[in-house]
Structure formats: C-alpha cells, structure tokens
Amino acid sequence: MILKIRQRMAQEESGFTLVELLVVMLILGILAAVAIPAFLNQRAKANDSDAKSAANTAQQAIETLATDNNGSYASANGNPGVLKTIEPTLNSAPAFTVTAGADNYNITVTADTTGNTYSVVRNNTGNVTHPCTVANASNRGGCPTGGDWGP
C-alpha cells in the first residue's frame, strides 16, 4: 500500500512547465528593463553629488584662505593647489578651477561622469550663488531645472 502511494506521488511530480518558465523569464526581463535605467541615473546623481561636495569644500577652503589674508581671495586666483593645501580632501575631488579677486571668487567643479558643472560664485557685495550647467539635456544628474543647486 505504501509502495503504491509512493509510486503515484512520483508520477504526479513533473516540475515546471515550459510556459511557466517563460512567464517567469518575461517578468524578470520587465523588472530588469525598469530597474537598470533607474540605477544608471542614480550613479550620475552620485557623481554630481561628489562635484557639489567638492565645490562646497573648496568654498570653505577659500574662505579660510581669505581669513588668513586680510579678507582677500586673490591668492587663490587660477591656483586650486593652494586650496588643496588648506583642505587635503580636495586632492581626491573632481577637477575644479578657481577665479578670484580681492573680494570675489568663482569656483567651478566638473562632474566626472555627466560633465555637468557646479559653481560657487561670490560677487563683490558678498552675495553667494550656486549655479549649475548641464552638459547633456537628457542627463541632468543633480542639476535642477532652474540651474541653482545651492541651499
């Protein structure tokens, strides 16, 4: 009797059908098609966040430099190396440029992957803005539509 039950159970176990396997593959394909572009966009935003962080760090470094130089930013003009001396974490940051006068500066950082640029600009009256420009309109990364990424 037990032998007959075991034989009957063995005959009824047949595994998944080909249609069931195809349905599972189709569902996995749809999920991958949705998830991969979202993942790639997150990487672009992460690279842009790195550029923003470098711009903020460079701003802190140039303000420190001005404190040590009677309020003048001029010694940083065209010389990002002086800011890297003040803030060593800028050595591993994305490439950036510095244009500075006695009472103004413009720090521009270019994101590695997207090519978007993020700036911190201080004018002669002390007003600080945070403009950004997009290299490719289809990949805004972390640059808002208004073009101002600042706080």
Considering the domain boundaries, does residue 14 fall inside one? no
Token duo for residue 2: 């037990």
* Span 71-105, pLDDT tens digits: 999 999 998 999 999 999 999 999 999 999 999 99
Whether 82 is covered by a domain: the verdict is yes
The answer to whether residue 26 sits within a structural domain is yes
Domain that residue 109 falls in: 19-133
Residues 42 and 26: their CA atoms lie apart, in Å, by 25
Average of per-residue pLDDT across 30-40:
82
Instruction: Please name the residue ranges forming H helices in 69-141.
Output: 80-86
Q: Indicate the number of domains in the chain.
A: 1
